[in-house]
Amino acid sequence: MLALLCVACGNDQAPAATAPPPIAVTVMSAVASPVVNRVELPGRIEAVRSADVRARVDGIVERRLYQEGTDVAAGAPLFLIDPRDYEAQVQQAQAALKRAEAGHTNAASIVNRFRPLVSRQAVSAQEFEAAETALRQAEANVADASAALTRSKLRFERSTVRAPIAGRIGRAQVTEGALVSANAATLLTQVNQLSPISAVFTQSNTAFLDFAEQVRNGLIKVPNAAKVEVRLFLSNGQEYGEPGYLDFADLAVNPTTGSQTIRAVFPNSKRILLPGQFVRGRIMAGINTTGIRVPERAVQIEGESASLALVAPDGTVVRRNVGVGSQEQGDWIILSGLQPGEQVIVDGWHKVRPGQKVTAQPVAPAAAASAPSSAPAAR
């Protein structure tokens, strides 16, 4: 009877719990290969040359001589300020010059007449010296009157306001009948040279230092530092058709933002780029010799950070933050945090957690670049 009770108790015990099998994930082995070092920065369009057209004489604007929003040549007439007063000043200065020239002629004739008489003592030396002094004063009067005539001609010429540079001219800031002033430097309009045109970007000084160190260490190679290509993307996401090239890097650091300024020049024959326009620039800053490509779906983006799920040598999952560069043909370029040969989980990372055992299966080469993401990355 006791034996039967023991058998019955043994049958009532539940079977021992078994651990679930490891989850299967798809992995790829990280491989370092040369990739273009793309740096994306926000920027703003600026005219290569920009000139404020201001009044240089006082007067009433009589006419506007240009069509707003058109291209003008350097020296093209833009405004006419009432020139009658300045024309009269020119005539007055011409008369003063003629009067000074007549006085010079008279003083010169007296000196020429006295010169032979001095030797015969028909004229005293004192009288001859006074005649020579009067001649020198007459020469100074001629020079003064000539300068006054030049000055009055300049004022008269400036009554016709001309374009200081060639470019696209903006709308008029004054209308006919407006009183403008040279002392107040009244703004009349603005001329901007739009082709070529500049794009200005700012980059942190830390990023500049890191880039310089990578170049020194051979991690990044810059084949031609004098011709670094830049691609622009407009505010609607469309890529600007023509590439530009860096032409300036500021050697001063902004003490407020800790950033440096760089500039690129672009052709702009169709006038698509306009001053003040916000753009994004993609700078082809050399070749990264140790770049690693990872499919977009393998990278988990959370705010400003990016991470990857890896399979450690013991078969467990490891989560690691990485530094990402640009996106290229469906891949992220990993700049830091990942070593060649490490196993990156491409599909299935959303089903596992760090420390969990998994079964790693290699991803098909074609699927690594084209297969859809098994789960959307957090953004």
pLDDT-based confidence at 125, cuts 50/70/90?
A: confident
Pairwise CA distance, residues 253 & 207, whole Å: 12
Strand 305-311 to 300-302 pairing: antiparallel
pLDDT value for 5: 46
pTM of the full structure: 0.70
- The two tokens of residue 42 are 């926000």
The three-state secondary structure class of 209 is helix
- How far is residue 118's CA from residue 126's CA, in Å, rounded to a whole number? 10
Task: Decide if pLDDT at 148 tops 50.
Answer: yes
Helix (H, G, I), strand (E, B) or coil at 215: helix
Largest CA distance in the chain: 176
346 burial level (CB within 10 Å; 0-12, 13-18, 19+): buried
Q: How confident is the model at residue 324 (pLDDT cuts 50, 70, 90)?
A: confident
Average pLDDT along the chain:
88
The span from the first CA to the last CA of the chain, in angstroms, equals 69
Extended beta strands in the chain, E state: 23-29, 32-54, 59-64, 71-72, 77-81, 160-162, 167-169, 179-180, 187-204, 220-221, 229-233, 244-249, 259-266, 278-295, 300-302, 305-311, 317-328, 331-336, 343-347, 358-362
One-letter identity of residue 64:
R
| pLDDT surpasses 80 at 13 | no
Tokens (6 digits) for 5: 């009770």
